[in-house]
Amino acid sequence: MTETFAIDPALVERYIMDLARHGAHGETGVWRPVYSEAWFGAQRQVEAWMQAAGMETWWDAVGNVWGRVQGTEDDGQGVILTGSHVDSQLPGGRYDGVLGVISGILAVQTLVERFGRPRRTIEVVSFCEEESSRFPTAHHWGSRAVAGAIAPEDLKNVVSYDGEPIGEVMRAAGFDPDAVATAKRDDIDIFIELHIEQGPILEQMDTPVAVVTGITGIRHYHVALRGRADHAGARPMDTRRDPMAAAAEIISTAIDTAHRMGRPAVTTVGRMFVEPNGAAIVPELVRLTIDARHPDPELRELLYARHEAMMREVCNRRDIDLSWTLGAEQPPRVSDPELVETFVDAAREQGLKYLTMPSGAVHDANRMAGFTRMVMLFVQSKDGRSHTPDEYTSPEHAAAGVQLLAAGLHRLAYG
């Protein structure tokens, strides 16, 4: 007979609302930068829930909070880890990150209550500073520490929006920056991250959950277009070297290229600065950022090659000096095929409607995929909103996510 891991939606909602009190911002938002009082409050709440669920808990050197249920067989297969983060955008919503931490605790609690200790060791983690909430270049600080990917000089060079080095902020918060290397783990076999979708696809398909087949590859082009400043009245159109005209053509064509390549290709121009930025002056310089993503390694390279060739052609034809630097380079990460199959089987067994789809956002799972077998689960987001107090996931959909996670963990750790 098939076990059902159905969870009470009201219970999930209560956990979410309890955590949302830490750093509550406005009606529905949270403001929870890493190492702040609000963040400490949330991490302590997470630890208390872990303990109540029967887990042994600890904080590591960077502030990740861990809970562990020791397996009955210590056969060297390594740890099965699930979790996400509780730091937020400023302001962010109640679900991003948080849902993965709460789901891990509730899934483990359900399994332990019903079946006792698992055969394989399960851990739950609440990573610190996934969002660059306080340090713009700290991105995935907690999972970087676990991967052993923080260099000693990062403690000085990673600085907050206010200019404080992260090492000093850590020390003031009670952590020992010299001990960062102790946070590295090499005994983790599997990492499972449950997260809100942050896009509209599950809602459009009227589906509560998805098993994520891979995480997109990202590149940022920081583009500078330099022309010649001119008087907006006295300089005829046909003799201008107008970088704004080049920027407009580049933006339109880049967006069209990604659109024509089809889902899940995306290209976004979200950031732009103009100099001198005067209404009656043809600009001298336009700077813009192109964010382009594809989870397929070959199609990603094709997308980038098309963008680069197009920028060169436009700027050559318009007599504009073109330069760019690259940022936010993240290779695509393919989910472990066996884990995808395990969670697809679990969704079928539980009678949950599901999709398989790639992730267009990056997560701690990107970093973890470098040294573990990785899979992600998505839960439906209302209107595809995230990184805003407007983000919302219904208790029923959240409970479906916990059910899928519990069913998959059961197969992996108890089977």
CB of 199 to a copy of itself, least distance (A): 3
Identity at 300, one-letter amino acid code? R
N-terminal to C-terminal alpha carbon distance within the chain: 14
Strands 354-359 vs 209-215: parallel, antiparallel or unpaired: parallel
Q: Torsion over CA of 377, 379, 383 and 389, rounded to 10 degrees?
A: -100
Q: Pick the closer one to a copy of itself by CB: 120 or 195.
A: 195
CB of 130 to a copy of itself, least distance (A): 14
Q: Pick the closer one to a copy of itself by CB: 1 or 237.
A: 237
Distance CA 59, CA 183 (A): 9
Return phi, psi of residue 127, to 5°: -70, 155
CB of 394 to a copy of itself, least distance (A): 18
Q: Pick the closer one to a copy of itself by CB: 106 or 215.
A: 215
Q: Pick the closer one to a copy of itself by CB: 268 or 394.
A: 268
CB of 67 to a copy of itself, least distance (A): 28
Distance CA 394, CA 206 (A): 13
In 6-88, at which residue ranges do the beta strands (DSSP E only) sit?
24-25, 29-30, 56-59, 65-69, 79-85
Q: Pick the closer one to a copy of itself by CB: 164 or 291.
A: 291
CB of 389 to a copy of itself, least distance (A): 12
CB of 295 to a copy of itself, least distance (A): 10
Distance CA 110, CA 369 (A): 27
Asked if 300 and 214 touch (Cβ cutoff 8 Å), the reply is: no
In 119-176, at which residue ranges do the beta strands (DSSP E only) sit?
122-127
> Among all chains, which residue has been given the structure tokens 């076990």?
3
Distance CA 135, CA 142 (A): 12
CB of 165 to a copy of itself, least distance (A): 23
Q: Pick the closer one to a copy of itself by CB: 60 or 96.
A: 96
Q: Pick the closer one to a copy of itself by CB: 52 or 326.
A: 326
CB of 346 to a copy of itself, least distance (A): 23
Distance CA 413, CA 402 (A): 16
Q: Pick the closer one to a copy of itself by CB: 76 or 270.
A: 270
Distance CA 269, CA 90 (A): 21
For a copy of itself, the binding residues (CB under 8 A) are 197-201, 204, 216, 218, 220, 229-239, 242, 244-245, 247-249, 251-252, 255, 258-259, 263-272, 274, 276-283, 289, 291, 293, 327-328, 359-362, 381, 384-388
DSSP string, 169-233: HHHHTT--GGGGGGG----EEEEEEEEE--SSHHHHTT-SEEEEEEE-EEEEEEEEEE---EETT
CB of 136 to a copy of itself, least distance (A): 11
Q: Pick the closer one to a copy of itself by CB: 233 or 415.
A: 233
